[in-house]
Each structure stands twice: as structure tokens, then as C-alpha cells.
Chain A
């Protein structure tokens, strides 16, 4: 171990040397030793506390940058000083706060057990940022975690990609695992369930398979929508579900769509999934995105300017995972290049992500352009007062699409169409809807424009 750390430290030193002046390196870092390293944190032994104070105050940025360039991701940096009390060699200091140490021991235990379950210790309730988009799902999850099988059973969480379904499920798993040491927590994806089921059929040990799942105190199944179309798996799951439910065991499921919309899912399962509580996760609003960024930056020890946070939060709207990826990219660029992060630099850095984002946001103007193009009328006609049928109807379609595809209010849409009244827009929407029902060709045309816009 000791040698390992020495090697790590050599690698880190090499990355650190160009970051600081030779005098600084000699004065402050030559006496530093790496005494403990995990994937999240490094503990450095320093001769006395002045090293800690001075490095923390003045050379932390350089040290973090060196860590990122040497190991690819930031770590938490801790210090232990040799002069502080009779610290045993190799043991981690922080003994002044025994409580903290205790918690750390605990969380290390939890980490071990949770990694065995396939739970990521970073996905905890503490690290989940709550906003109006997800507060119901969060509150429900917390309630379930605090008293399993007493409140909502089953709990069904659904929402789009990267909005925190897995995070919430794993939080529940870890919370229960930590509070009740003996509780049997099972966390798996529906895909794994299906595979194991197939395996069990193949090797003819269905009994073992059933026993395994039906003994769980808490069953968490991620991405349950993959069960759609797999009839025998559904049947097996149905029985597992019933056994657990009748035994007052908690079941938590997640999916990317509500139960009723999962294709080829048996009705009895749909109705069971809807039995408890169905909670939706929506994309976060800008404040929540901001909070997520700050929290993430804080845990990773990244310091960015407010403008940069602002930029990221306003430009990346759809997906939390993407938001965090963008933050990592910006932070590592900043620490590696040491350049000032202006919005232009960030924009350049994230151009692929931003393009992807921009594609999803449809503007009224794009709709107008597209509809005008399709019906071969002038763009100006979209806003003009003229209303012969060959102009008025495309304009109404454009209003309808604006209503469907953007978040603009009736008034805003009216304004965008040459200052029309909200009633006009409402009328247009109703009219188009009716004609879509009546005439197939109109429905096809509109769905064609719609999909062209969404692409």
C-alpha cells in the first residue's frame, strides 16, 4: 500500500510541478506525503499545520488541477499533520472530531454493502436536488424509505432520461440498507430480472429464482418498461409482485413512461403498478438546474464564476446527466488550461451539447417558417392581417403547432402571429383539432410538419 501511495504521489508531483514555481514546490510540497487514497479523496501527511493552512489557502487550485490532469477526475483533499497529537503512522487523522470519523466508518460500511448491491453511494437523498419538478417523487421516495411498505406500495417513479429515477431508487435502497442492517434490499434492472428468469428456465432452477426474489424486504426494479412484450417474464413478475405485496414488502419501480403507456404490458400488471403512488419526474426548471450545478460543483470542489453557472443552467435544459457532464467538462478545462472562462469559451467548449439542446427547443418562428414553406406561402403572411383561406388555414395550423410544441401562452402565440387576440389562437387550435379528426390528409400533413420540426 505504502509503495502504491508513493507511486501515486510521484505521478501527482509530476503533474503539479509545472503548476507552481520551483521554489513553491520545494518549500511546500517536497515534504508532503500521500498517506491515504480512495477514488473520492486523498489524504496528505504534512509536517505541521502551517503546510495545511498555506497549501489550502494558496495552492489548492494548482493541486486540484494536478489531480485532475494526473487522475482524470477531482478528489477531495484532506490533510493530516504529523505534529497534531500522537497520530499513529498510516492512520488517518481527523481524530479531533471523533463523530466525523464515526460517520465515515459508517459510510464506508454502507459503501461496501451498497456496492455489493450495485448501488452507487453517490446516489443518496443528500445529494438529490429537490425542485418543483421532482418534489412529489422525492417526498414519496423519502416516505417509502423511512417506512417501507407502510405508505405507498408500490411506488412507481417515471420520467425522461437523466432526470433522477435511478438516483431516487438507489437513495431508497441505501437509506433502508443503512437504517435496517438486516433488511434484504434488492436493486436490479428489469433486464437483469428477465435474464435471470431465462437462465432459471434454462437450468431448470425456477424454485431458487423465486426464492431469491420473493424473500426481499425491499425490491427496487429499474426501467420496468423493458418488461413490455415479455409475456412469461411478466407472468413471473406478477407472481413475485403479489407475493411481496401480500407479505407487506415494499416494491419500487421506475420507468420512462407511465404504466398505462408501457406497450404490451398485461392489464393486471398495469393496474397493479397504478395501485400505489405514481410519481412523475419532470425536467428541472432553471433554479433547480442552478442548484444542481452548485451542489455538484461543491461536492467536486470545483469553483466557477456565477456567469458560468448561469450560462450552463439556462442553456442546458432537458437532462440532469447532461448538465453534470457539461459542468465536468467546463471545470476540467478551467483547471487544466488555467484560462479565464468567458461565456464564449464555454460556448465553444460545449458546442456539441448545445447544438443537441437547441434541436429540441422549437421556437414559434421555426414553426412559422416550416409551415409557410410547406404550404408555399410567404413568411410575412403568418403575421399579416390578410385572411384568404389559402393563408388563414396554414396560419391556424402554425398556431396549433405553436400551442402544442412550445410553452408559449395563448397571448404570446397571438403576439407572435401579428398581435392577434388569444381567442383567435384558441379558435385556431380547436378548428385544426376538429379538422384533423375529420380529414386524414390534414392529420398526416400536420404530423409530418410536427416530426420535421422535432428532428
Chain B
């Protein structure tokens, strides 16, 4: 295998795939990236057996062939190269010589045959989504995915395909984020699948604002085809909990908030929320919210926000981090906060189909 390529194209290609490579692995081959040179393209593949990514870059290939090289090492070398022209030549023993300007590197790889192939998707159900829609949906929900490994079904994002709607749901037991995306697909494609966190994170990095993504759902696995890049992942087996149970059926009070103003206030006040109790209190009075936080033996913070509010006067406490996460992820100027009472969950909404349920914390009297 012999090829020459510009440093930028090679770097871009590696950046797309290298995150999947796991840092500590029992199988050495999994820390390698598979390079396959053919025609005027080089395909790059990485996998940790759960998630795999396949990308490519343009190059002038002098001699076709394939090999695997240590992904992290290759990336750091390429990044530091002095010239923008890079030549890579791999001998029969998978040793790669990298030349660029006055630099010369030789790194040892492993044979192509050892690299586990990405799963095949035959008879898979295929649906097409606009990249922008999916990217938006992931951004609005993925922060709420649970990291508690004992609840493995929550360690991923639910893709629920039903009645021409794709519903994305994430919850960790204290909060729940949900987005609906209108989508056309045949009834036979209806399914509930759980995509693991790592795949969601990678997908978010790969999605752009243009074009479409082709989603293939096979048995126990899923593939996202973004024209030049392919991401495949195992699905989390099990039943996602019945999240509708969490959503309050009717709420009593509604307050409209300017997202950025409110977020900034929360961020400032939360500076004095103690690490342990970690709660901030919202005090609702007529046309006003007082946001307060205090930590015994440290101090307290308070901010008043003028809002349109004509409901009952009451106080409710939330975890500030859980409240700020959706506010950061949203882009809308205005958000609506629906409440029932100080012991019932609050619901954050916007004009489009999005919902965030947040459990209050107990107010210590």
C-alpha cells in the first residue's frame, strides 16, 4: 500500500473515527485503525466491538492495499508533521513508513485480517431523517441519559418509532427529556430501540446541518449512514421504561421565561448552592421569581427576575445543574415552565414538541 495525501485531509479523516478507539482494551487490534486504500479513496474504520465508525478521505493511491495502525499514535504523529504533504508506504509486514518534509516515521501495525469486520445490515428496516432534525433532537435530550450502570436500560437514548413520529427519550430517574420528530415511514417499521450513550455522542459529532441520514435498524444493531461516514452500534437490549408515566397529566401554573436571562441567573445563584444538598429555590410571587441558594457556613445568593406570573405564591427547589442542562441545549428565546405544587415535578416546554420533566427537591424548612 502506498499513497500520498495532504495533512489536513488525513487529519480530518482520522478525527472522524478516532474517538471510538477505546483507551484500555484487552484486544490490541481494537486500538488500531483499519486503512483500506482503493481507487482514489482511503477508508478508515475503528471499532470497540460495540460502536464502529467508518470514514474516508481522498488521496492519490499509488498502490492499493490495506493495513491497521495504532490509531492514537498515528493521529498524534500526523498532527505534528511539518509539511502539508504526507506519504505513507506500508510494507508486507504491516510496518508503515510516513514521510513528510524532513520527517520520517516508521510505525508497526497489525494485519488487516485481524480487524473485526463491521456488522452487515441485511433485511434491515431503513428510514431517512434530515440530519439537522436528528442533531437537534439529540442535543435536546442526550444530556439526560443516565450514567448509573446498574440501570443499564437507561444508559442510552430511546428511539421510539410510532405513528409517523420519531420520539427521542432520555431519563436518569430524576429528570426526563423528550423530543418528537415528524417522520414518514411504513407501519412495519414501528419499533422501540435503545441506542447506547457512546453511539449517541459519536453521532452528535458526525451529524451536520445539511443532508440526510439513513438509519438502518437490524436485529440488535443500528447503522447511521451519513453519505461519507457510517456509524454502527449495538443496541441496548431490554425494555425502556414506560416514560409516559412520568409526565404530569395536567399542570396548574405556567410561567414564561427568557431562556438566556434565566440561565444566567441560575448559573450565578448556583455558585452558592452547596455541593451536598445542591439545590436552588425558586420563590414565585406576583410577576416575580426570587432565585435563592444558601450553604450553611458559606453564604447565600439571591436574584430577582421580573416575569409574567399571576398564579399562586409558592416555593419550589430544584437541582441547578439539572435545570441548566436543558436551558443550555435549547436555542429558543422563550421557554415555558409548568408547575403543579412544591412537591410535584416541573415541566419545561417550548413551542416545538419538546418536554423536560424535572423532579423538585425537598425544601428544608
Q: Chain A residues in contact with chain B, CB under 8 A?
A: 20-21, 23-24, 27, 48-51, 53-54, 56-58, 61, 83, 305-306, 338-340, 342
Q: Give the residues from 169 to 205 in chain B that come closer than 8 angstroms, CB to CB, to chain A.
A: 171-174
The answer on a CB contact under 8 Å between B343 and A24 is yes
Most chain B beta-carbon contacts within 10 A, residue among A49, A51, A83:
A49
Q: Chain B residues in contact with chain A, CB under 8 A?
A: 151, 153-154, 171-174, 239, 241-243, 245-246, 248, 276, 296, 340-341, 343-344, 359, 362, 364-365
With A21-B344, A54-B173, A58-B173 already in contact, the answer to whether A342 and B296 are too (CB < 8 A) is yes
State how many angstroms separate the Cβ of B240 from the closest Cβ of chain A. 9
Complex CA gap A56/B341 in Å reads 21
The answer on a CB contact under 8 Å between B153 and A49 is yes
Residues of B within 8 A of A21 (CB): 340-341, 343-344
The answer on a CB contact under 8 Å between B362 and A61 is yes
Residues of B within 8 A of A305 (CB): 276
Residues of A within 8 A of B172 (CB): 57
Complex CA gap A49/B365 in Å reads 32
With A23-B344, A338-B362, A339-B365 already in contact, the answer to whether A49 and B241 are too (CB < 8 A) is yes
The answer on a CB contact under 8 Å between B359 and A58 is yes
A48 CB contact (under 8 Å) in B241, B340, B344: B241
User: Number of contacts between A and B (CB, 8 Å)?
Assistant: 52
18 further contact pairs, Cβ within 8 A, besides A27-B245, A58-B359, A338-B365: A21-B344, A23-B340, A48-B239, A49-B151, A49-B153, A49-B241, A50-B241, A50-B242, A50-B245, A53-B151, A53-B241, A57-B172, A57-B174, A58-B174, A305-B276, A306-B276, A338-B362, A340-B365
State how many angstroms separate the Cβ of B316 from the closest Cβ of chain A. 12
The answer on a CB contact under 8 Å between B173 and A53 is yes
A-B pairs with the 8 shortest C-beta distances? A50-B241, A57-B173, A21-B343, A53-B173, A340-B364, A58-B359, A57-B174, A49-B241
The answer on a CB contact under 8 Å between A20 and B343 is yes
The answer on a CB contact under 8 Å between A339 and B364 is yes
Residues of A within 8 A of B241 (CB): 48-50, 53
State how many angstroms separate the Cβ of A93 from the closest Cβ of chain B. 15
Residues of B within 8 A of A20 (CB): 343
Complex CA gap A49/B359 in Å reads 18
Complex CA gap A143/B191 in Å reads 59
Residues of A within 8 A of B153 (CB): 49
Q: Closest residue of chain B to A27, judged by CB?
A: B245
Residues of A within 8 A of B362 (CB): 61, 338
Q: Closest residue of chain B to A61, judged by CB?
A: B362
Q: Closest residue of chain B to A343, judged by CB?
A: B296
Could you list 5 examples of A-B contacts with CB < 8 Å?
Answer: A48-B242, A49-B153, A50-B246, A57-B172, A58-B174
State how many angstroms separate the Cβ of B178 from the closest Cβ of chain A. 13
State how many angstroms separate the Cβ of B332 from the closest Cβ of chain A. 27
The answer on a CB contact under 8 Å between B243 and A50 is yes
B344 CB contact (under 8 Å) in A24, A61, A83: A24
Complex CA gap A305/B362 in Å reads 15
State how many angstroms separate the Cβ of B207 from the closest Cβ of chain A. 29
Residues of B within 8 A of A54 (CB): 173, 245-246
B154 CB contact (under 8 Å) in A53, A61, A342: A53
Q: Closest residue of chain B to A51, judged by CB?
A: B245
Residues of B within 8 A of A339 (CB): 364-365
Complex CA gap A339/B364 in Å reads 6
Complex CA gap A54/B344 in Å reads 13
Complex CA gap A99/B268 in Å reads 49
Complex CA gap A27/B364 in Å reads 24
Complex CA gap A53/B153 in Å reads 11
Complex CA gap A338/B362 in Å reads 9
With A24-B344, A61-B362 already in contact, the answer to whether A83 and B239 are too (CB < 8 A) is yes
Residues of A within 8 A of B171 (CB): 53
State how many angstroms separate the Cβ of A94 from the closest Cβ of chain B. 13
Complex CA gap A58/B173 in Å reads 8
State how many angstroms separate the Cβ of A13 from the closest Cβ of chain B. 17
Residues of A within 8 A of B276 (CB): 305-306
Complex CA gap A342/B296 in Å reads 9
State how many angstroms separate the Cβ of A409 from the closest Cβ of chain B. 32
